[in-house]
A and B are shown apart, each in its own frame.
Chain A
Amino acid sequence: MSAAVQSGRPAGGTGPSAGAGTGGPGISGLRLAVRRFSRNRLAVIGLAVVVLFFLFCFAGPLVWSTDQTHTALTHANLGPSGAHWLGTDAVGHDELGRLMYGGKVSLVVGLAAGVLATVIGTLWGAAAGYAGGWIDAVMMRVVDAGIAIPALFILLVISAIATPGVWGLILILGLVSWLVPSRLVRAETLTLKNRDYVHTLRAIGGTHTRAIGRHILPNSVSTVVVAATFQVADAILLVAYVSYLGLGLQPPKTDWGGMLSAGLSATYSGRWWLIVPPGLAVILVVCAFNAIGDGLRDAFDVRGRG
């Protein structure tokens, strides 16, 4: 018996370090993921851009305080100057301040809607994949049907019926964009539910809730996080769409899409400062989130979006 313990030891010593690169003792999976992420230069730039935009929108007003509620028609349509770096819009709001103000809404709505969509999609997909059989078939046909209807169409219909506030916008956007993550998570669940540890749990009488909650969801977290990042990018873009079409938030509230829409009339009068900054902001943030998603995908070694 002592011989057995002895002979077990050399394998114990070589085993983990021989395991091809997935981290020997000392290097945690998280640190490895961070290292992989930081190797993707675009992703790092993306992360920096997102962080800068958050600082700009949330901390910026502390430095550059402006009045975004009252109109000041005496100051309307001014070009960039020392007092107004990015000029003013048609009702006299400072454009730089408005960029921060609108950015807050865009980022918060985008982030919240993206997270909401991911949460719904994850639960739906995990339930469908785990249940299998006809339940899975029905649940996934619902998703197929949802994907067949363009999200923008639904948004326009809803916006035509009711004028949403920030919370309403989050809810609506979340409810139209959970379909793709649900497919991804279902695919993941199909493989995870056949892992030996799930079989073992079921064999000793563990509940399905436990199997999903303790094993399947935690193990699909990398897929979920990657999906969430892309969802946020999509949601920010969707907010911009909806607001651009004039169906989003009502003035004086605004977001980047709304600013673009308001600036549209100024296209031919050469007031570029009403269009370029919000447009650029949307493009930059959406690209940045996508780049982060790519980086996370590298870091977690997850396959692409659905």
Chain B
Amino acid sequence: MTATDTTAAATAGTEPVLRLEDLGVTFSSETGDVPAVRGVSLHVRPGETLALVGESGSGKSTVALASIGLLPDNARASGRALLGSTDLVTDVVTASERDLAALRGRAVSMVFQEPATALDPLTRIGAQIAEVVRNHRQIPAKEAGVLAVDLLRRVGIPDPERRARAFPFELSGGQRQRVVIAMAIANDPELLIADEPTTALDVTVQAEILDLLRRLAVESGTGVLLVTHNMGVVADFADRVAVMLQGRIVETGPVEDVLLRPEHEYTRRLLAAVPRLAVAGSPAVPGASDAAARPGAGSGEEAGQASGQASGQESGEGSGAVAAEVPRPRYGTRARSANPARDSGTDGERVVDLRDVSVVYGRRTGAVRALDGVSLHVRPGETVGLVGESGSGKSTAARVALGLIRPTAGTVTLFGSDLRRTRARARRSLRAGIGVVLQDPVASLDARMTVQECVAEPLRVHRRGMSAKDRQEHVAELLERVRLPRAYAQRAPRELSGGQRQRVSLARALALAPRLLVADEPTSALDVSVQEAVLEVISELQEELGFACLFVSHDLAVVQHFAERVVVMRAGRIEEQGGTMDTLLHPGTDYTRRLLAAVPVPDPVRQRQRRTARQAAAAGTGPAAGTAAGTGATA
């Protein structure tokens, strides 16, 4: 570990701009002292990007905050954090607040995750940038204003003279993050700390922001400390990687080494859990070692136990050419082959059917079309992935299917009954056939209930006659189904981790043996390894119980592995839909193609090729970004 470190240092040549030596951070909380960072040593050289990766709670953000001296009041730091390269080196750990204030923004600056809250909503952006400039340089306001416009131009804001007079709410999320970056580089810092700078952004915007950061770092020789949980972002951007686990660095090295030839057991596990996006033309499934693509055989009898209808057509149908590219179905054992015949075939039974549904908020000029003529359906036993960027209406569509949002126009048919034509009581009993798992593991469970009460809630609603003892037994069985110990029934949700909570949600969703599971970003708030476990449980139970699943996600890689059919949404409309392998390998629309090209893959070599292809496509040289990225990816 130290060996690779020194080689990297030798190649870079210059003095590091940040050097952490045996940094430790302990938080004192009401429940006692919690060590968050233990003995972390690392360095960042000018022009170099060091990615600090790890799962939530690993201490990566704390390291970033300690490096700029922004730790909260209840934190104590030990060791040394040396900032600055040649002339003036400051130890952030011991420096006074006054010295730190002089340092921040000039020698080191920070880009936070959420661009919406990083800007003052009542000040024009030009003025905000100028203020940062004038904090450290004695120049007239007018001159600072000119500099601000320059900075906006540098970060790629179109028409910067006019935009400088805009308020933050007039800008999109991506543009706001550009402004935040402009503020961060306003005084040419030696070190830029970026804490999950693209996590709150859509993939296409993320790609642009990463391009921008990379360009700036190269142009000005700024060292970058990038904190992220996204291995794709690491592959796209970092020169070196440090992997953190429980406050310690377990592995450091050049990005190619760590991501392609990880040494530490934890890094390997982390990387194995990352769902990988398969692209057309890639020779084998990425992460080839575990790509033992199983044929569809065998799935028939397993699924058949639970539901006869779903499994019959499954085998044999996938055409040869596609089958070769089919990534291994990660979750569960059923081969989720794309089956166009099933899609276009006879109408058949539909679990849920949205026809020409529109949802409009507000009236007249202020009206917002959240959904615009959306038609989609889910058949028994199948999994439909609903993908799109934020604001595309995918969650709204799911909520319409759940009956939580009443459509302005169009019809929703649930289990063959039109929701509008059924009476309230009948509608209620229809809904017993739905299971729901929503995104936020904290808000999904009532903190005032025990796990037992949470899971038993659907039973209390629909099986009034059930005795307390039966109910308890049923809950215990459900918990075992989602691989939680029976004893967890007596726990409070607060005592569980995010992944465990989502499993409790799943247990609750399955309490009434539903025919349809609606999962709205069920794993987006979870770490990758936990995500993998949760998806696997859903998938296995689906095989066992045969329910259909409407799976909403922004993560194309997850959907690719999880869904048989996919519906791509954009701005309230359906952009395209079809079998997963068809749609996500050979997209029919430009939008899907761009969306796919923007997803960073956790392989630095392939990501570099994909990036070049994407940038070329964006510049107008290549008509099809997806294909270009695909052919490039022969490594």
Interface residues of A (CB under 8 A from B): 1, 3-5, 7-8, 10-25, 27, 29, 32, 35-36, 195-197, 199-207, 210, 214-215, 218-219, 221
**A203-B446 in contact given A11-B530, A16-B496, A23-B31 (Cβ < 8 Å):** no
**A204-B34 in contact given A7-B533, A8-B530, A14-B57 (Cβ < 8 Å):** no
- CA of A15 to CA of B57, assembled, Å: 7
Q: Is the CB of B518 within 8 A of A203?
A: yes
The CB with the most chain A CB atoms within 10 A, among B403, B448, B462, is that of B448
- CA of A219 to CA of B461, assembled, Å: 19
**A24-B31 in contact given A11-B530, A204-B458 (Cβ < 8 Å):** yes
- CA of A4 to CA of B540, assembled, Å: 12
Q: Is the CB of A18 within 8 A of B56?
A: yes
Q: Is the CB of A218 within 8 A of B496?
A: no
- CA of A8 to CA of B529, assembled, Å: 6
- By a CB distance below 8 angstroms, the chain A residues around B527 are 11
B443 sits at the interface (CB 8 A): yes
Quick one: closest B residue to A22, CB to CB?
A: B494
The CB with the most chain B CB atoms within 10 A, among A13, A18, A27, A196, is that of A196
Query: In the complex, how many angstroms separate the beta carbon of B60 from the nearest chain A beta carbon?
Result: 12
Q: Is the CB of A218 within 8 A of B448?
A: yes
- CA of A35 to CA of B32, assembled, Å: 13
B404 sits at the interface (CB 8 A): yes
**A203-B434 in contact given A1-B540, A36-B30 (Cβ < 8 Å):** yes
List 29 A–B pairs whose Cβ atoms lie within 8 Å, in order of A's numbering.
A3-B269, A7-B273, A8-B529, A8-B530, A11-B527, A12-B500, A15-B56, A15-B57, A15-B498, A15-B499, A16-B494, A21-B27, A21-B29, A23-B31, A23-B494, A29-B492, A36-B30, A195-B446, A196-B438, A196-B443, A197-B445, A199-B399, A199-B402, A202-B403, A204-B434, A204-B458, A206-B457, A207-B461, A219-B448
Quick one: closest A residue to B59, CB to CB?
A: A18
Query: In the complex, how many angstroms separate the beta carbon of A8 from the nearest chain B beta carbon?
Result: 4
Q: 17 extra interchain contacts, Cβ-Cβ under 8 A, other than A7-B530, A203-B518, A204-B431?
A: A8-B500, A15-B496, A15-B498, A18-B57, A21-B31, A29-B494, A195-B446, A196-B444, A199-B399, A200-B508, A203-B402, A203-B403, A204-B462, A205-B427, A210-B461, A214-B446, A214-B457
- CA of A10 to CA of B250, assembled, Å: 15
Query: In the complex, how many angstroms separate the beta carbon of B245 from the nearest chain A beta carbon?
Result: 8
Q: How large is the interface on B (under 10, 10 to 19, 20 to 34, 35 or more residues)?
A: 35 or more
Q: Is the CB of B34 within 8 A of A17?
A: yes
Q: Is the CB of B497 within 8 A of A205?
A: no
B436 sits at the interface (CB 8 A): yes
- CA of A36 to CA of B71, assembled, Å: 23
Quick one: closest A residue to B427, CB to CB?
A: A205
Chain A interface, DSSP helix/strand/loop, else mixed: helix
Q: Is the CB of B446 within 8 A of A205?
A: no
> Which one, B56, B272, B273, B436, contacts A200 given CB within 8 A?
B436
Q: Is the CB of A25 within 8 A of B495?
A: yes
> Which one, B404, B438, B454, B499, contacts A8 given CB within 8 A?
B499
- By a CB distance below 8 angstroms, the chain B residues around A214 are 446, 449, 457
- CA of A14 to CA of B447, assembled, Å: 19
Quick one: closest A residue to B443, CB to CB?
A: A196
- CA of A5 to CA of B480, assembled, Å: 13
- CA of A17 to CA of B443, assembled, Å: 18
Quick one: closest A residue to B74, CB to CB?
A: A21
> Which one, B439, B443, B444, B499, contacts A11 given CB within 8 A?
B499
Q: Is the CB of A219 within 8 A of B446?
A: yes
- CA of A223 to CA of B56, assembled, Å: 31
- By a CB distance below 8 angstroms, the chain A residues around B430 are 205
Q: Is the CB of B512 within 8 A of A204?
A: yes
- By a CB distance below 8 angstroms, the chain B residues around A15 are 56-57, 496-500
Q: Is the CB of B403 within 8 A of A11?
A: no
> Which one, B273, B429, B497, B509, contacts A16 given CB within 8 A?
B497
- By a CB distance below 8 angstroms, the chain B residues around A29 are 492, 494
- CA of A200 to CA of B514, assembled, Å: 14
Q: Is the CB of A199 within 8 A of B434?
A: no
B576 sits at the interface (CB 8 A): no
**A197-B444 in contact given A1-B536, A11-B55, A15-B500 (Cβ < 8 Å):** yes
